[in-house]
Amino acid sequence: MKVFKDVFTGDELMSDSYKHQAPFGDESLADVAFEVEAKRVSKGGEDFGVAANVDEDAGEGATADGGEAAEMVIDIVDGFKLCETGFSKKDFGVYIKAYMQRVKKYLEENNPDRVEKFMAGAQALVKKFLGMFDDLQFFMGESMDSEAGMVYAYYGDGKEAPTCVYFIDGLKEEKY
């Protein structure tokens, strides 16, 4: 299995167990980013075979079968311990400009052949983000470093869970 970590923080943000595809179905952006579809899943509420041992005075939050009440979570957000954050459009512009420069510098030092492709593709993706800004959600990695990479999420038509978008050059792949 491969895990994708933020190049600046080492936060785990994605793995290859999710199907990666071109963002927004646009193959011209596939060289700079990928997206994955998240799912809503139930977390908690497992029985573990102890339902027969329910105490009459079960604690608050316990169900009649003795388990904890289940909650619905977004698998990617929960599994990678992502934290939602917010931006005004102006603040996002400041953040993304600084982030792109940070990735550019990282690429100049580590993979200079990618700089031109990253800058061109990232600018196109940022224009797409700005055009749909009100429909985006932003998630930080577990370290909550506001200068590191973000996970960008949007809900497609009729979808229960978001689709998450990642900048490829802001990630490093590690095999587990």
d(CA 7, CA 128): 23
The bridge status of strand 12-15 relative to strand 33-37 is unpaired
Report domain extents, the chain: 2-40+77-175
How do strand 136-140 and strand 150-154 relate by DSSP bridges? antiparallel
Distance CA 46, CA 48 (A): 6
Q: Which residues contact 122 (CB under 8 A, 6 or more apart)?
A: 32, 33, 100, 103, 167, 169
pTM, rounded to two decimals: 0.85
Q: What is the pLDDT of residues 144-168, one digit of tens each?
A: 999 999 999 999 888 999 999 999 9
The per-residue pLDDT for range 58-108, each reduced to its tens digit, is: 555 555 555 567 888 999 999 999 999 999 999 999 999 999 999 999 999
Domain covering 2-40+77-175 in this structure, CATH number: 2.170.150.10
Distance CA 152, CA 176 (A): 25
